[in-house]
Amino acid sequence: MGKGPVKDPGRGCKGAEVPQDGYDTDLNHRERATLQAVAQGDAEIATGCGTNLFVDGLACADQATAHRLVQAGLIGPAYAGEPGQRVPAVLTEAGERALENTPALAGR
């Protein structure tokens, strides 16, 4: 997936409880769907603490899930931007592993 995400996109934010190695398959449906949207290239992330996620140009309805995935190191910005700037969201290597190690989403 080209260059990896910028490290520490949510500097100063509290950690998440989502596994950071990408090998745990206990992601919930929303987490898997969010990872899949990012993998398809449909997502942008607003950089800075709080890193808001946008899918198809609209704010993600579950920002708490997006924040957990960022803090867990599964998704991040494709490159550094100014605070609040929207940049493409990408999966990290751990995010790619997590998506590969989870069952396919039904109906998608």
- Residue 35: partners with Cβ closer than 8 Å, 6 or more residues away: 27, 69, 74, 75, 91, 95, 98, 99
Question: In this structure, what DSSP letter does residue 25 have?
Answer: -
Lookup: tokens for 63: 């920002």
Residue 89 backbone dihedrals phi, psi, to 5 degrees: -95, 140
Domain-by-domain residue ranges, the chain? Answer: 1-103
pTM more than 0.85: no
pLDDT value, residue 24:
52
pLDDT value, residue 1:
42
pLDDT above 90 coverage of the chain, percent = 50
